[in-house]
Structure 1
Amino acid sequence: MAFATTKDGVKIYFKDWGDKNAQPIVFHHGWPLTADDWDNQMLFFLAQGYRVIATDRRGHGRSDQVSEGHDMDHYAADVNAVVEMLDLKNAIHIGHSTGGGQVARYVAKYGQPQGRVAKAVLISSVPPLMIKTKNNPEGTPVEVFDGFRSALAANRAQFYIDVASGPFYGFNRKDAVISQGTIQNWWRQGMMGSAKAHYEGIKAFSETDQTEDLKAIQIPVLVMQGDDDQVVPYKDAAVMQDKLLKNSTMIIYPGYPHGMHTVHADVINKDILQFIRK
């Protein structure tokens, strides 16, 4: 198993497949998952000749279950530790949901100033800000996130079944084609991680204002989201990202759910490949 050690001594697990001289693609997973959420994409882009890398966020999966540092600043710094260890250059960073916030913070603070990134992709991502505030009146009320925290603390195992079998993949919609394996794999990944990291991660993905991160990004960014995303409302996410980014392309997919990179991987992979090859 491969690990990078951060400046505060945390071991971050990563997968690294393919030709070390090929252009690297780095994948950033959503809450509360792991690098395994990208298995489909990693195999697809590996077959296209890319080097593919995915990490487990601190407190998630096989990375250290540390008590502290469950915030976007640490998440981005942890990615930077992996990137510097592998000396990745001309990289493409792809993030889903919370991973999209991680990409935005990493690119703005580390990757772009260091000249290490070529392009980025935000899939169903949380920036600029999820929570409802005085300055973000269309956001999601804090009570929703308090409900997530209460359900996690009360019975994390059942909560994760409910999320995966319901809104995450749109399996609660009429005529949805339900994959029990996908539900079980989501649950498996979630239960590998730390309850504390997942609990505190809710605040990180919902309350971190990443407006300035998006404004700072100069590289080309592909923004992708489904208009039936029941987890991250697309009008407050993808649409706002496209407005704030200087060099973006946006695709809104009719009827697609939050976890569209899994249940519609054939479409999403093709569109990302086209963007990368431009």
Structure 2
Amino acid sequence: MSYVTTKDGTQIFYKDWGPKDAQPIVFHHGWPLSSDDWDNQMLFFLAKGYRVVAHDRRGHGRSQQVSEGHDMDHYAADAADVMDHLDLRNAVHIGHSTGGGEVAAYVARYGIPQGRVAKAVLVSAVPPIMLKTDRYPGGLPIEVFDGIRSELAANRSKFFRDLPSGPFYGFNRDGANVIPAVIDNWWRQGMMGSAKAHYDGVKAFSETDQTDDLKAINVPTLVLHGDDDQVVPYKNAGVLQAEILPNATLKIYEGFSHGMLTVNADVINPDLLAFVQA
């Protein structure tokens, strides 16, 4: 397996498939999952001739289960170390949920200054901030995130069944096409990672104000969100991202869930490809 050692000594697992001279598409996964959550998109873009890259965030998947550094600053720095190791240039960075926050932080702080990034995509992403604040009164109250921490600490395995079985993919909606294998795969990815990384990660994805990161991203950026996202409500996320980003295109999908990349890949993947090729 392939690993990069970050500047603080953490081992980060990554995948790198396809022709090394092709344009790279880099995928950043959500909490508490791994790069495996991008299998569908990686195979799709690989078949189109692209180089596809994805890594497991520290403490997630096959990356090292370190005690510290589970915050957006380290997530971005770790991603930068992977990109530096592979010397990726002219890359398109696509991030889902917490991975969208990682993309915003990486692209703004490292990718653009180093001239490595061509475009970015934020899918059901957490910026500018999920938490309700004076600056963003439409956010969620802290009790929501305290509840996530409490459930995770009490019985992580049960919580990692309940979330994908219900709101994550919209499987709690009347008439939903519930796919047990998708739930199983979500649970599998989550349980591979570290409880400490997942617990600390709640603060990272909910309390990090990334307004300045969004303002600094001047490359073309596609913002995708479902209007039935029960995890990251779109009005305080995708809509605000498009208002803050200097060069954004916003698309809202009617009835799509937070996990639309998986259950609606047949719709999302062509839209991603069209943006990459534009």
Same fold (TM over 0.5): yes
Match of 2:68 in 1: 68
User: What does residue range 81-230 of structure 1 map to in structure 2 within 5 Å?
Assistant: 81-230=81-230
Query: Equivalent residue of 2:255, what SS?
Result: coil
Q: Which amino acid aligns with 1:170?
A: G
Query: What percentage of aligned pairs have identical amino acids?
Result: 70
Measured in 1, the distance between the counterparts of 2:52 and 2:216 equals 26
State the match for 1:261 in structure 2: 261
Distance (Å, rounded) in 1 between the aligned partners of 2:101 and 2:83: 17
Count of aligned pairs? 278
| Residue 138 of structure 1, CA deviation | 1.1
Distance 1:95 1:270 in 2: 16
The offset of 1:134, in angstroms, is: 2.0
1:55-111 CA-partner distances (Å, limit 9, x unpaired):
000000000000000000000000001000000000000000000000000000000
Q: Say which SS state the counterpart of residue 155 (structure 2) adopts.
A: helix
- Match of 1:58, as an amino acid? R
Residues 23-62 of structure 1: pairs in structure 2 closer than 5 A: 23-62=23-62
User: What is the alpha-carbon distance in structure 2 between the residues aligned to residue 94 and residue 269 of structure 1?
Assistant: 12
- Map of 1:236 onto structure 2: 236
1:136 CA drift (Å): 1.7
Structure 1 consecutive aligned stretches of length 4 or more whose deviation exceeds 4 Å: none
Tell me the SS of whatever aligns to 1:134. Answer: coil
**Offset of residue 137 of structure 1:** 1.3
Q: Which amino acid aligns with 1:104?
A: A
Q: Deviations over 1:94-148 (max 9, x none)?
A: 0000000000000000000000000000000000010011222111000000000
- Read off the aligned partner of 1:270 and give its amino acid letter: P
Map of 2:13 onto structure 1? 13
SS in 2 for 1:62: coil
- Please give the secondary structure, in 2, of the residue aligned with 1:103: helix
Aligned letter for 1:118? Answer: A
In the alignment, the residues of structure 1 paired with residue 16 and residue 116 of structure 2 have an alpha-carbon distance, to the nearest angstrom, of: 17
Letter in 2 for 1:195: A
Question: TM-score, normalised on structure 1?
Answer: 1.00
**Which whole-Å deviations, capped at 9, do the CAs of 1:14-56 have from their partners, x for residues lacking one?**
0000000000000000000000000000000000000000100
C-alpha separation between the residues in 2 aligned to 1:136 and 1:268? 28
**What is aligned with 2:248?**
248
**CA root-mean-square deviation:** 0.4
Amino acid corresponding to residue 222 of structure 2 in structure 1? L
Structure-1 separation of matches of 2:205 and 2:244: 18
Gaps spanning 5+ residues in structure 1: where?
A: none
**Partner Cα distance (1:266, 1:174) in 2:** 22
Distance 1:155 1:180 in 2: 20
Q: Which runs of 5+ in 2 are unaligned?
A: none
Q: How many Å separate the matches in 2 of 1:193 and 1:30? A: 12
Q: Secondary structure at the match of 2:157?
A: helix
Q: Quick one: distance in 2 between partners of 1:250 and 1:7?
A: 35
